[in-house]
Amino acid sequence: MGDDAERHGAPEGSERGALRRSPRPRTAAIHGGEPGASERIDGAVAAPLVTSSTFDLGDPETFDDIKYIRLNNTPNQRWVCEKLAALDGADAAVVLPSGTAAIWMALVTSLDAGDEILAPFRVYGGTRKILDELARSHGVTVTYVDLLDPTTWKASEKTRVFYAESLTNPWIDVPPLDEVVAFARQRGLVSIVDNTFGTPIAYRPVEAGFDLVVHSASKYLNGHTDVVAGAIAGEAERIERIRKRMNLMGICLDPHACHLLHRGLKTLSVRVEAQFASARTLAAMLAAHPDVESVRHPSLASDPAHANASRLFEGYGAMLSFTPKGDPERARALVEALELAVEAPSLGGLETLVTRPITTSHAGLPASVQAAMGIDPRMIRVSVGLEDIRDLVADFERALTESARLAAAAAE
């Protein structure tokens, strides 16, 4: 791949080049994408919020170089993109108004009418709807595969893209991602991976060989449940092509959201490392509980994802899913009985969130598709937050007991 300084267009010894050569995400999250000395206001260390929508024209080389919010090149947009690129170990990045916008833009800039995409059958519901729309309105053929089984991966002369999730939503599976990269490279495919659940702290897809990585930045990257944003990172030429398409369509993230995301990224490492540890403890408790039928978290030695996660990741993530014994009504009662954990359709914030995928992430899909994907109506997805793990474990233990009592009473 060549020398890093040459790859990233950064002079040897420059701060940005040094950050992108560094394998240490915690440092990149804090020092990447910060204002230069000439951009600081009265020597302020924190990046300012610059709300101006337009700037002195100067002498731009092209239309896309005119400094203007819609053209995704104003200070807060630029700083957060540079920080994301440093954190992902990528040449460049862009930010968008949502994670689904990031998925859509990464796909439509990599595909033309008549092209084929390989995608996992068991995939986030929002992504499935995007794939269905690409097939319906853009003339793209979508071939669904079992992401966990490479024998199901078949490329044709029309295949252009292989799409994956690093940790699948909501099953918390870990595919053989190195084999996805190898398969795509051997066949000249664009490899794209959603790393929202993994985060750059557990897995850095660009360094692992993926062409593009997408994130719902509303989740762990921001981490405070107060921003909706998406991100795409990758090689400079691909990202510039995406940015120009965004500029054409008027897709941009406002400065305030950029500012909040930029700030949230600085604590990403310390936040998710603590959440990873708490998720391991909660998963172990649930796995040992007599009222729990099954638990999915890669930290469990018995989990099907344990081997791949141990081999590919640094940490097992803070997302888990479990299925309580009983019927869907018991699962609903369990969720309602929780006091610390909040039932809400998102993840990655400071607070623990729970949801039943049948009613949120995969709602709206045909019942036949839900069933074929394995969306159990009893499944509960958990985004483990930063509460004291002793309090969190006690909350789930109490809710399990209370929901079992209610289920027994209803059966009488």
Q: Residue 196 and residue 218: Cα distance in Å, rounded? A: 9
* Contact call for residues 392 and 384 (beta carbons, < 8 A): yes
Q: How many CB atoms lie within 10 A of CB 32?
A: 25
Residues with catalytic annotation?
70, 124, 194, 219
